């Protein structure tokens, strides 16, 4: 079996995380939002990944990406049908989030880590829970990430 080579991370990049928001943004909505960040002059690439609900925004320098994140993280929300959703703005660190569905309850975090470490460093394992707006808040759906 061939060992996996480390893949390069996206340089000078921050990301807009639309995961968990009621609908995916359109391309024009993303561009309008980047305009509200006053980042248009330093942006070199905008990649909208609809399958992961993440928008990768590349800037000319890493310092520009860091400044945008520092100025805007935790300050922006989207309201859809009367519900407000936070819009995380994060630096891209190259990590890949993996979700494991339909795990039996006896599978431990250590077993998951042992199985996944062949793909690279496992940073964290989190067992998901239904949110406070659910009819079963705090209950576990058998999903880990």
Which residue in the block uniquely carries the two structure tokens 């890493």?
Answer: 62
The residues of the chain scoring below 50 in pLDDT are: none
Residue 7, number of CB atoms within 10 A of its CB: 8
Determine, yes or no, domain membership for 1: no
Same domain? For 85 and 119 the reply is no
- Tell me, what's the pLDDT at 6? 56
- The answer to whether the beta carbons of residues 59 and 75 sit under 8 Å apart is no
Summarize pLDDT for 83-103 with one digit per residue, the tens. 888 999 999 877 777 778 888
Q: Are residues 17 and 78 in the same domain?
A: yes
Return all residues near 40 (Cβ < 8 A) that are at least 6 apart.
Answer: 34
Look at residue 14 in the predicted model and tell me its pLDDT.
94
Same domain, 101 and 86: no
Q: Look at the chain and count its residues.
A: 145
Spell out the alpha helix ranges (H) of the chain: 27-36, 62-72, 109-116
pTM over 0.85: no
Question: Can you give the pLDDT at residue 122?
Answer: 84
């Amino acid at each position: 079996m061939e060992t996996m080579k480390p893949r390069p991370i996206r340089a000078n990049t921050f990301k807009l995380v639309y995961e968990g928001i009621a609908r995916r943004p359109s391309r024009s909505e993303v561009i309008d939002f980047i305009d509200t960040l006053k980042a248009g002059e330093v942006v070199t690439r905008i990649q909208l990944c609809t399958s992961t609900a993440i928008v990768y925004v590349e800037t000319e320098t890493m310092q520009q990406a860091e400044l945008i994140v520092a100025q805007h993280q935790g300050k922006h929300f989207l309201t859809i049908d009367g519900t407000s959703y936070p819009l995380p703005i994060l630096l891209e660190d190259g990590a890949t989030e993996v979700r494991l569905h339909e795990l039996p309850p006896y599978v431990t975090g250590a077993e998951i880590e042992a199985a996944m470490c062949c793909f690279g460093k496992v940073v964290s394992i989190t067992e998901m829970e239904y949110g406070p707006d659910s009819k079963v808040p705090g209950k576990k759906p058998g999903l880990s990430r």
